[in-house]
Chains A and B, each alone.
Chain A
Amino acid sequence: MSHLVLDGLTKRFGSFTAVEAMDLSVERGEFVSLLGPSGCGKTTTLQMIAGFVPVDSGTIRLDGSDLGPVAPNRRGLGIVFQSYALFPHMTVAENIAFGLEMRDVPRAERDARTRAAMELVGLKGFADRYPRRMSGGQQQRVALARALVIRPALLLLDEPLSNLDAKLREEMQGELRQIQRSVGTTTILVTHDQHEAMALSDRIVLMNQGRIEQIGAPDAVYDRPASAFVASFLGKTNVLRGTADGRGAVAIGDLVLALAGAGSGPVQLAVRPERLVLAEQGLGARITSRVFQGTHWLLGAESAAGPVMLMRANDGLPVPKEGEAVHLRFAPADAALLPGGVSA
């Protein structure tokens, strides 16, 4: 039996449907990200699990029991808010101990667990500091310690790293992942940042307009997007127009590939820029732009199948200039067939 099960979860605000019939199962100890653009329903889902937003229909089950009738202060979930929501009038230690106090944990144990939590997040020696006098990264750690110290059944993270600068964010990602692994708490992360979702999660739940577009491991979702939306939202992608002949071959310009399940008629293929390579022959294209990015060049080109982007490693070999005619190729395994008729 799964640890957390969302079954047909639905929320409407007036005529706007924020979350529609959402089904999701999360295993014990798993790290799952809800990823999507703003307004996709990911935060509303989190708020429903937390109990701050009432559910219209559907159920939320934790270890088989329905959370619906349980008041938000009796759910025992750990939450890290986007703004951290630290209590500004309490010290770090008081902030962290608050949840234990609410549970009437005896003084000695409370102090010990608070100390342990501060050590876990690397805040030893900050006990008497007030949140206002700490950096964003430190506040973030306090919020995490405060949520973890109550040994929550579930850890909910609402865009926890979005207020940090890029370098600190990367650092905290690693640390967050390592802490989650060591305590083994089932974790749901809400984020609009694909890199964060891919770096942290066991599985990604991609959401759009209140619906789940795709669920899967980060590399699986990245490599085999189930829809044009997923392909364009996760990383950069090329959508190429081609024609299937009904016998398992697809023509994209001059390039002909064997693709099972392509059917017949016009098709759309998603190909990542890093999987498109320059070749002697194949899809004809003309280079339109050239941007140097350190480890690689990002090339823009106009091809017979539409505009494309490709990456060219900075390996010391010559790079085609703007206006140069080139040929492009990719392996059939690197192309994901998009459901017909959808244009990206």
Chain B
Amino acid sequence: MRRNGPAALVFHALFVLFMLAPLLIVCIVAFTPEGYLSLPTRGPSLRWFRAILNYPEFVRAFWDSLWLAALSSTVAILLAVPAALAIARYRFPGREAMTTLFMSPLMVPHVVLGIAFLRFFTQIGISGTFTGLVLSHIIVVIPFALRLVLAASYGIDRRIEHAAISLGADTATVFRRVTLPLILPGVVSGWLLAAINSFDEVTMTVFIASPATVTLPVRMFLYIQDNIDPLIAAVSACLIVMTALLLLALDRLFGLDRLFVGSGKG
């Protein structure tokens, strides 16, 4: 393979700048000592980070989002593992249609899902509840869980399971001792990707969140709708730094390209 020329490297540098600029500017502005949006030309200050603590709604929304992400991605993975195993190894009527259905939350605009859930939850009387949030988030993160578990399941040599059976293992033992350990990397990365997507989801959630149950991205969105100030920059900066740390950890653990290539997000 030939090397990149100087023109290509200049293009690449500009591209990286383009990708990072909005994230960097948020982190820089968050350190301003002034009471308005500005660059911290008089030296960095932590006043806006301290100010977050005076807004408990941000802190509470953060913990609610974390809890919501953990709960919905756990249920999603519990549904995705058996479904992925069935899709990967059996040929049965409706298999294609079912796969399309399970991946459909990626295709259906989240605005439409939000509206559908708002209407549905209002009808069955759980509108604005945490239960409603969890149910809706399970749906939108299942595709991520399913895709990674599916990839892991396709990779299994069924003769390894046959070997375990021939050595005397029953169905439950084969699953516990052989199948599950073999798909575990897919299960863990699927859970993580599902949790991250649940945590970040804003478009659908904005329809079904209520003042009592609001996620961090929705709270931030509603705040920005009213006004943009250094406080929201500080909140965003915290989020960006946390995501960056998580990203580095994920890269170490799984390799990002393996986690993402072939992945798409709604």
Contact = CB atoms under 8 A, between A and B. Distances in A.
The answer to whether any beta carbons of A and B sit under 8 Å apart in the complex is: yes
A102 B169 contact: yes
Given A76-B168, A102-B167, A81 B162 contact: yes
B168 A103 contact: yes
A73 B159 contact: no
B165 interface: yes
Contacts of A272: none
A77 interface: yes
Contacts of A82: 159
A103 B163 CA distance: 15
A236 B182 CA distance: 45
Interface string B139-168: 000000000000000000101101111111
Interface string A63-86: 000000000111111110111011
Nearest to B166: A79
A85 B162 contact: yes
Given A88-B182, A102-B173, A79 B162 contact: yes
Given A81-B162, A85-B160, A85-B162, A73 B182 contact: no
Interface string B224-243: 00000000000000000000
A54 B160 CA distance: 19
A126 interface: no
Contact of B165 (A73, A78, A86, A87): A73
A52 B159 CA distance: 10
B170 A73 contact: yes
Contact of A146 (B165, B167, B170): B167
A229 interface: no
Interface in A28-64: 50, 52
A72 B181 contact: no
A74 B163 contact: no
Interface string B28-62: 00000000000000000000000000000000000
B170 to A, nearest CB: 6
Contact of B159 (A75, A85, A99, A102): A85
B78 interface: no
B163 A73 contact: no
A157 to B, nearest CB: 12
Nearest to A82: B159
Given A85-B159, A88-B182, A89-B181, A50 B168 contact: no
A307 to B, nearest CB: 43
Nearest to A52: B162
A297 interface: no
Contacts of B170: 73
A282 to B, nearest CB: 53
Nearest to B178: A87
Contacts of B160: 85-88
A72 B168 CA distance: 8
A77 B166 contact: yes
A156 to B, nearest CB: 8
A98 interface: yes
Contacts of A79: 162-163, 166
Given A83-B157, A85-B159, A88-B182, A78 B166 contact: yes
B157 to A, nearest CB: 6
Contacts of A146: 163, 167
Contacts of B165: 52, 72-73
A87 B168 contact: no
A85 B166 CA distance: 11
Contact of B163 (A75, A76, A81): A81
A150 B162 contact: no
B182 to A, nearest CB: 7
A98 B165 CA distance: 11
B9 to A, nearest CB: 38
A98 B167 contact: yes
A85 B163 contact: yes
B239 to A, nearest CB: 36
Given A52-B162, A79-B163, A85 B168 contact: no
Contacts of B164: 87, 98
Contacts of A102: 167-169, 173
B171 to A, nearest CB: 8
Given A50-B162, A85-B157, 16 more contacts: A50-B166, A52-B162, A72-B165, A73-B167, A73-B168, A73-B170, A74-B168, A83-B157, A87-B178, A88-B182, A89-B182, A99-B168, A102-B173, A146-B167, A150-B167, A150-B168
A-B pairs, top 10 by smallest CB distance, nearest first, are A99-B167, A102-B168, A85-B159, A85-B163, A79-B166, A85-B160, A89-B181, A81-B159, A73-B165, A72-B165
Interface of B: 157, 159-160, 162-170, 173, 177-178, 181-182
8 contacts: A52-B162, A72-B165, A73-B170, A81-B163, A85-B157, A85-B162, A85-B163, A87-B178
